Amino acid sequence: MAYKIMFTKQSVKDLENIDRTVKKQIRKKLIHFSQLDDIKVVTKKLHNFDIGEYRVQVGNYRIIFDLDKHTLVILRIYHRKNVHK
């Protein structure tokens, strides 16, 4: 089962402020994750659902997202030092 990737306006803004090489890594990982049969295997479920339901780590960045059937809704992309603020 392949997942469709959808970005929120805020996640696009977050992505614009990230270095080009890191953007490439994030894009490559998101494509890889979207092709997995069950993405929950490589994600961590969050306890505080205020931001989102799941997160995945790409280098020093955390991608916060929700799952909507076969769609990854990317909510935020944080540097690891700013995730808990």
Local confidence band at 50 (pLDDT 50, 70, 90 cut-offs) = confident
E strands present in 2-70? 4-7, 44-45, 54-58, 61-68
pLDDT in tens, 3-28: 899 999 999 999 999 999 999 999 99
pTM for this one?
0.85
Cα 1 to the center of its chain, rounded Å = 18
Query: Residue 2 and residue 36: Cα distance in Å, rounded?
Result: 6
Fold of 4-82: YaeB-like fold (3.30.2310)
Check if the beta carbon of residue 27 is closer than 8 Å to that of residue 59: no
Sketch the domain layout of the chain as residue ranges.
4-82
